[in-house]
């Protein structure tokens, strides 16, 4: 009986201890569980993932991210990779409830042994606990944090599946080398996708979560291999691999492979414009963390042509206006290489240029030293353009010898050349003298039917200036605006053969203000002339009289209708292009002419998908339920997609202006563009004192706008205009862009009839006429209705001799 009482006492004591322990655990859960972060947020957690921007053909153009992470769903991660991490980090993961009691007991024993030895406490964190720590807690090393970690782990296991917890872990952990998540680590360490990893490689990645820097593959190779091999052994013990595979894997060296350079489309102005648009649509947080997949409109081939032809055109203009001097000067050429390497190259030079120092000036060439320590030759024929630049874009005397432009010790930009202008080959290490232009410009190429921007360059060099002259600069378009004045006239019943008086025009601007006396660019007057000639020859006085007749309310409304500018001042000078606009807006306006008068909105983004592949934005909003067929069976009805574009003018009026602008290229101010040899239309634009130069033009399926000018508006110089500064860039671009395209004529809409007319008078051609063209008339109109002369209303009757001969717009 006494024995039974003793046993009962002992059992009661242990029961008391159990109750006390349970109470302590419950109190610990209550005490430490108060105020813990909301673990339910992990249900909807999406790790920060980079946004990728792609060109129209799928090539990568840009990436935006704060953390270098590639999110991979758990179902897409190879099982061997998953099991490698479980073998290394948490072998009982699928069996425990968030904490591993056996692992905890083992950690307690180790820590008791290490007491007083100054060693770091070891943990027994499960993967669930690591998720709790990484997402919800700090990295503090203390028993309090471990308790909180365990409590959160138990709670997390109640609301998330094991696979979801593992997905968060494998995509969130930092594995060194700037890699967040296993997919990014596989790329950065081995230049492989997860599915391409070998056993030793996945084992090494699984060895990193505890302390990536301790197992650096280069700085701490031996420790890294030992840790990797331990993981390989664990994989064999857990049955992930066979013993034979383990032996083979451990025998292999730890080879890190640098990530191969991803082919990226070089379109910095385009990419930055897309980035700004994405920030406007979604905010910076979504851009840098949201994992968007952005499909842009850029055509890599056209983009490369645009970049090259714009740079070439700006360089050509710059050369026409002289040499502004060397980049720097070296005092002594004895130690020239050391001195040259200490000079920081100015931003803005193309990648194939190099700095060189003048070592010796000879009669027919210049000896130059290069940054790599070698020497080369600069022939005199490759620097004859370098006449001295003078104020006002004027030139000094012609060069007779190299020393007229260069001095010993001058540091200059050089570009390798292989042959001269005649095609004769040069010796290796032969260079041409170069200079970074001060003038700037922009070019936009657009699909006129959709508004998709196929190419866009906003300046000579993005490295030098990120300001985008294609989308951000407001400049006067000059005569490039005139077609919209004449379009308004066509809509009101005038014809291309309508006569307008080309004679002096004076407008009284009010008390205390001088009288306004616009001029033609040529300072000549041509009497009654057809509307077609008014555009082809860019006659200012005819345009002013037409605008006065139409009313500036109408002209201003057309500028707004075509998206050129929303608030064009209602004064006559605006009809000559004095109102400011952006290059991209004017390019879209010309696109609406060639597409038959349909509104288009410029866009650089076709489609945006979220991280789950769901389309969240489309530029093309047309519905086409019958376009979803998986394959062509031969008997389906071809889907008909409704045209939901708004009409901004009639197709007939639009074609009349297109036909006139085709005449600008054939006979007018844009003649130098005609060498492209394909049907083209276009218009030059030059502002007063030649401060801005434009050429806006198109083929039936491609619209291109070019602008040239200084960022701080100053005259471009004598003889510079849209036809000399901008048109050659357009010509060179179109020559390459259309090289493999058929010569497609402009589409003639219904309601237009072509009549043979005298090109000067606009009247029906007679058998004796030699200067004959086909003119476009709307049905119900004819040349005979265009006999009267539109004279406008000048405030003075002025003879040509009375008119000032100041600058005009061309």
Q: Distance between alpha carbon 60 and the CA centroid of its chain, in Å? A: 11
Two tokens, residue 37: 């972060």
Contact (Cβ atoms closer than 8 angstroms) between residue 323 and residue 387: yes
Element at 534 (helix H, strand E): helix 531-536
Tell me the HSE value of 717 on the side-chain side, using a 13 A CA sphere: 20
As a whole number of angstroms, the distance between CA 412 and CA 406 comes to 9
Q: Dihedral of CA 510/512/513/517: which sign?
A: positive
As a whole number of angstroms, the distance between CA 616 and CA 627 comes to 19
Angle among Cα 120, 122, 126 to the nearest 5 degrees reads 145
Two tokens, residue 540: 């200012």
As a whole number of angstroms, the distance between CA 148 and CA 37 comes to 10
Residue with tokens 């001097």: 325
Tell me the HSE value of 404 on the side-chain side, using a 13 A CA sphere: 19
- The CA distances from residue 595 to 439, 449, 658, in Å, are 33, 6, 10
As a whole number of angstroms, the distance between CA 208 and CA 173 comes to 9
- Given 125, 179, 479, 786, the catalytic residue: 479
Neighbours of 509 (CB within 10 A): 13
As a whole number of angstroms, the distance between CA 12 and CA 79 comes to 50
As a whole number of angstroms, the distance between CA 133 and CA 124 comes to 13
As a whole number of angstroms, the distance between CA 55 and CA 454 comes to 10
Two tokens, residue 708: 């040239």
Element at 370 (helix H, strand E): strand 365-370
Examine the residue annotation and report whether 89 is marked as an active-site residue of this protein: yes
Among all residues, which ones are annotated catalytic? 89, 479
């Amino acid at each position: 009986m006494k024995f039974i009482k003793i046993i009962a006492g002992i059992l009661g004591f242990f029961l008391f201890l159990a109750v006390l322990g349970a109470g302590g655990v419950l109190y610990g859960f209550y005490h430490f569980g108060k105020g813990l972060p909301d673990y339910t947020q992990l249900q909807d957690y999406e790790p920060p993932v980079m946004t990728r921007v792609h060109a129209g053909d799928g090539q990568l153009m840009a990436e935006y991210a704060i953390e270098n992470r590639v999110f991979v769903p758990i179902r897409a991660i190879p099982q061997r990779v998953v099991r490698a991490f479980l073998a290394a980090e948490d072998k009982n993961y699928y069996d425990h409830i968030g904490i591993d009691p056996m692992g905890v007991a083992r950690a307690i024993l180790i820590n008791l042994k290490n007491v007083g030895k100054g060693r770091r406490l070891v943990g027994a964190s499960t993967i669930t606990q690591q998720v709790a720590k990484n997402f919800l807690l700090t990295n503090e090393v203390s028993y309090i944090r471990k308790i909180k970690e365990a409590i959160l782990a138990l709670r997390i296991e109640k609301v998330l599946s094991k696979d979801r917890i593992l997905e968060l872990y494998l995509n969130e952990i930092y594995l060194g080398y700037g890699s967040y998540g296993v997919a990014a680590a596989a790329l950065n360490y081995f230049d492989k996708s997860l599915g391409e990893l070998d056993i030793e490689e996945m084992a090494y990645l699984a060895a990193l979560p505890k302390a990536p820097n301790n197992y650096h593959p280069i700085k701490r190779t031996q420790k890294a291999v030992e840790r990797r091999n331990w993981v390989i052994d664990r994989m064999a013990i857990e049955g992930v691999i066979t013993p034979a595979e383990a032996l083979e894997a451990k025998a292999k060296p730890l080879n890190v492979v640098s990530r191969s350079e991803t082919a990226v489309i070089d379109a910095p102005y385009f990419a930055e414009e897309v980035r700004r648009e994405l920030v406007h649509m979604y905010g910076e947080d979504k851009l840098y963390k949201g994992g968007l997949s952005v499909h842009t409109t850029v055509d890599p081939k056209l983009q490369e042509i645009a970049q090259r032809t714009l740079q070439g055109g700006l360089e050509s203009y710059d050369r026409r206006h002289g040499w502004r001097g060397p980049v720097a000067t070296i005092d002594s050429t004895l130690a020239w290489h050391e001195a040259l390497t200490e000079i920081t190259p100015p931003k803005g030079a193309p990648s194939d240029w190099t700095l060189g120092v003048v070592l010796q000036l000879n009669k027919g060439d210049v000896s130059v030293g290069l940054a790599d320590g070698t020497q080369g030759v600069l022939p005199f024929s490759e620097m004859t353009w370098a006449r001295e630049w003078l104020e006002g874009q004027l030139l000094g005397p012609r060069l007779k010898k190299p020393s007229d432009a260069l001095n010993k010790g001058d540091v200059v930009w050089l570009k390798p050349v292989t042959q001269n202008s005649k095609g004769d080959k040069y010796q290796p290490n032969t260079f041409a003298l170069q200079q970074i232009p001060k003038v700037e410009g922009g070019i936009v190429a657009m699909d006129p039917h959709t508004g998709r921007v196929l190419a866009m360059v906003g300046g000579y060099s993005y490295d030098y200036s990120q300001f985008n002259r294609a989308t951000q600069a407001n400049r006067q378009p000059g005569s490039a605006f005139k077609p919209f004045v004449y379009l308004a006239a066509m809509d009101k019943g005038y014809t291309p053969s309508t006569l307008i008086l080309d004679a002096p025009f004076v407008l009284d601007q009010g008390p205390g203000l001088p009288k306004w006396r616009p001029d033609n660019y040529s300072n000549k007057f041509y009497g009654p002339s057809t509307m077609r000639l008014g555009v082809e020859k860019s006659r200012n006085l005819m345009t002013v009289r037409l605008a006065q007749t139409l009313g500036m309310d109408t002209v201003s409304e057309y500028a707004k209708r075509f998206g050129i500018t929303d608030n064009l001042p209602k004064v006559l000078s605006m009809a000559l292009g004095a109102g400011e606009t952006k290059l991209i807006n004017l390019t879209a306006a010309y696109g609406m002419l060639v597409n038959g008068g349909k509104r288009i909105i410029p866009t650089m983004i076709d489609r945006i998908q979220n991280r789950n592949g769901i389309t969240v934005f489309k530029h093309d909003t047309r519905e086409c339920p019958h376009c979803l067929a998986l394959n062509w069976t031969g008997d389906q009805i071809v889907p008909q997609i409704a045209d939901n574009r708004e009409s901004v003018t009639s197709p007939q009026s639009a074609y009349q202006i297109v036909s006139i602008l085709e005449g600008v290229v054939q006979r007018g101010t844009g003649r130098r563009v005609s060498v492209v040899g394909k049907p083209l239309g276009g218009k030059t634009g030059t502002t007063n004192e030649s401060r801005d130069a434009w050429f806006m033009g198109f083929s039936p399926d491609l619209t291109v706008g070019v602008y040239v000018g200084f960022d701080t508006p100053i005259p471009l110089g004598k003889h510079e205009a849209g036809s000399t500064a901008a048109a050659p860039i357009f010509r060179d671009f179109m020559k390459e862009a259309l090289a493999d395209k058929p010569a497609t004529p402009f589409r003639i809409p219904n309601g237009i009839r072509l009549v043979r007319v005298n090109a000067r008078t606009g009247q029906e051609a007679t058998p004796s006429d030699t200067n004959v063209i086909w003119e476009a008339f709307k049905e119900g109109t004819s040349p005979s209705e265009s006999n009267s002369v539109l004279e406008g209303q000048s405030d003075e009757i002025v003879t040509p001799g009375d008119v000032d001969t100041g600058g005009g717009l061309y």
